[in-house]
């Protein structure tokens, strides 16, 4: 299965490379037909849009590029022709204005705001520095034209060449399946460290932390996927469900890692190490065999024995590390059960 995915992934990467090469070649050739030194904006725009070659992100960056360029040019024109034309001292506020805009970029992480700042900065700097023969109106029109043409070129190539490869869904399915498998492994490792079968060294700790962090990376991919399915409420509901469960599972595993960092299995908790290990292996098995578990009729089959074990641990000492450990395992078990149950319900609707 893994080799099959690698082969498909290689094909998609070649398709991606071919698409970018065609788009850049067309834009460079087209730039030679325009007798102006500003035609370089055309291939530059194509290159900037393909910095994140994911379908949703390409559409989003193209839209932000056009909107940001238009807004930035309008703001630069108004600033130059209205404020600075009436009083040159408005130029002294430029550093403050750009600092505020840069702060907004850092806070919002919005590509459109970044484009506005860059678009404003270039012509205003040219005018303030007193470049001879610089006519803002002509430059503004050319810049908007070449930027728009670059966006259209990128989107056409993306649609006809890279339409399949750029879809986020294919990558996300693989990465999500991989994340759930790794989560199952993380639960097994935590159980082994907690019961004393393995020593929690820095290598194992880093491995578990990396699995937790990988969930955050998948969450960002799902935010991109939303732009592809914004007109499909069912898909948006599924994406929101997945991101919600990913966040909660990450939170539970982080708590388990804190527990095993400071404590180990309590022999007086009225349960055996074997019982705890069996419970953890059963829950981790759901993650490692998610597809098979999806088609299982009774998805609540592990709840009763897990609840019974927790009751025994609670009766012994509800402030023990063993009880807290099992509580987090129960929460994770509930999350995966609810995830499968709701996914089934949404897909069958």
Q: What CATH architecture applies to the domain 168-348?
A: Up-down Bundle (1.20)
* pLDDT tens by residue, 144-201: 898 999 999 988 888 777 665 555 555 666 677 778 888 888 888 888 888 888 888 8
Spatial distance between the Cα atoms of 272 and 299, rounded to a whole number of angstroms: 25
Spatial distance between the Cα atoms of 231 and 130, rounded to a whole number of angstroms: 49
* pLDDT tens by residue, 7-16: 555 666 777 7
- Is pLDDT at 21 greater than 60 in this prediction? yes
* pLDDT tens by residue, 42-77: 999 898 888 766 656 777 788 888 998 898 888 888
Spatial distance between the Cα atoms of 3 and 234, rounded to a whole number of angstroms: 32
The answer to whether the beta carbons of residues 155 and 170 sit under 8 Å apart is no
Torsion of CA 138, 139, 145, 148, to 10 degrees: -150
Mean pLDDT on 1-22: 65
Is 0.85 topped by the overall pTM? no
- Is pLDDT at 271 greater than 80 in this prediction? no
> So what's the pLDDT on residue 193?
87
Q: How confident is the model at residue 349 (pLDDT cuts 50, 70, 90)?
A: very low
The answer to whether the beta carbons of residues 223 and 60 sit under 8 Å apart is no
The answer to whether the beta carbons of residues 48 and 118 sit under 8 Å apart is no
* pLDDT tens by residue, 41-50: 899 989 888 8
Q: Where does the chain hold its CATH 1.20.58 domain(s)?
A: 168-348
> So what's the pLDDT on residue 225?
64
* pLDDT tens by residue, 240-261: 888 888 888 888 888 888 888 8
> So what's the pLDDT on residue 149?
92
The answer to whether the beta carbons of residues 273 and 265 sit under 8 Å apart is yes
């Amino acid at each position: 299965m893994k080799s099959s995915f690698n082969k498909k992934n290689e094909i998609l990467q070649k398709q991606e490379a071919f698409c970018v090469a065609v788009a850049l070649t067309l834009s460079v050739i087209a730039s030679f037909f325009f007798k102006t030194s500003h035609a370089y904006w055309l291939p530059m725009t194509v290159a900037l849009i393909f910095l994140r070659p994911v379908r949703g992100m390409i559409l989003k960056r193209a839209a932000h590029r056009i909107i940001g360029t238009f807004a930035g040019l309008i703001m630069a024109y108004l600033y130059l022709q209205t404020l600075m034309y009436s009083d040159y001292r408005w130029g002294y506020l430029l550093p403050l204005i750009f600092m505020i805009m840069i702060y907004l970029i850092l806070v919002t992480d919005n590509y459109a705001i970044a484009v506005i700042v860059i678009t404003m900065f270039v012509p205003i700097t040219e005018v303030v520095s007193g470049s001879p023969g610089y006519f803002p109106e002509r430059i503004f029109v050319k810049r908007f034209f070449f930027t728009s043409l670059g966006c259209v070129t990128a989107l056409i190539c993306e649609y006809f060449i890279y339409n399949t490869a750029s879809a986020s869904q294919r990558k996300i399915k693989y990465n999500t399946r991989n994340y759930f498998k790794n989560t199952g492994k993380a639960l097994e490792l935590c159980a082994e460290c907690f019961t004393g079968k393995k020593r929690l060294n820095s290598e194992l700790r880093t491995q578990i932390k990396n699995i937790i962090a990988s969930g955050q990376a998948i969450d960002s991919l799902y935010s991109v996927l939303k732009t592809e399915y914004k007109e499909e409420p069912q898909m948006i509901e599924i994406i929101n469900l997945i991101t919600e469960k990913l966040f909660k599972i990450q939170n539970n595993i982080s708590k388990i890692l804190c527990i095993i960092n400071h404590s180990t299995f309590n022999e007086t908790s009225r349960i055996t190490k074997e019982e705890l290990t069996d419970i953890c292996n059963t829950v981790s098995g759901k993650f490692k065999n998610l597809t098979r578990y999806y088609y299982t009729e009774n998805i609540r089959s592990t709840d009763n024995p897990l609840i019974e074990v927790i009751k025994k641990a609670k009766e012994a000492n509800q402030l023990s590390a063993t009880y807290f450990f099992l509580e987090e395992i129960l929460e994770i078990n509930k999350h995966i059960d609810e995830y499968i149950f709701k996914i089934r319900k949404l897909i069958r609707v």
